[in-house]
Structure 1
Amino acid sequence: MSEKLLDAQGRHRKTTVSFRVSPEEAEVLDRMVAASGLTKQDYITSCLLKHEVTIIPNSRTYKGLYDEMWRVYRELRRIRKAGDLSQDLEEVLIVLSKEFVGLKDEPSDVEKEEAAITALKRG
């Protein structure tokens, strides 16, 4: 058996599993994968097997989160009304905000923006 076919845990992965998704689902999946810092294969496998996805912050993960948060922020500014958020964007926002909060102890720009948006909804 070739060493190249073994993964980091020493498993022999030779079976291919594939499935189709909509363009919108693919976009959400790509965003979640980028935010996780995992490979798409590892992210999907972890989710399907109901393993907890633990993100260990590093510069790659931080950049992925940062870039994604800017995309979400621009989309929120475009929408202007929190009630018009798509379900997909709302799910991405929730996951990313939890991950972003875990990166540092002080309130993040994301938390500050979220508080500003919440204040706008009340007015």
Structure 2
Amino acid sequence: MEFTSFEIQLAKRMKRLGVTWTPLCGDWYYSEGGYCDFVRHEKEFPTLGKRVWLPLWEDCRHWLRTHGWVQLEFLVDGEDLVEIEITHATRGPQIARGKSDRECLYKLICRSLEES
């Protein structure tokens, strides 16, 4: 699995904004040592608090749904540009643009936290 440096920066921002992580085997993370890896065993759980969770598509969708965001729709799904629109019951629609769907979802999570 590859994560861009911008996705890692957004994931760090999500952590600073309060996104919590209950680790599961198979979750991806970034360490301040500069590498990405995934959780292989439950024995790793106690050491993961210092690391940055790199949520995947399903993780992001779950977070957004549990925070009132629904009706995700791809407006553009190109090779170099992705544009996603998602709607919140009280805030209305939001659009995020980026180079990947994951980047867009990370941006939407950050924006949701910053506006709450």
Q: Same fold (TM over 0.5)?
A: no
TM-score (norm 1): 0.25
Higher helix share: 1
Higher strand share: 2
Structure with the larger RCO, 1 or 2 (CA within 8 Å, 6+ apart): 2
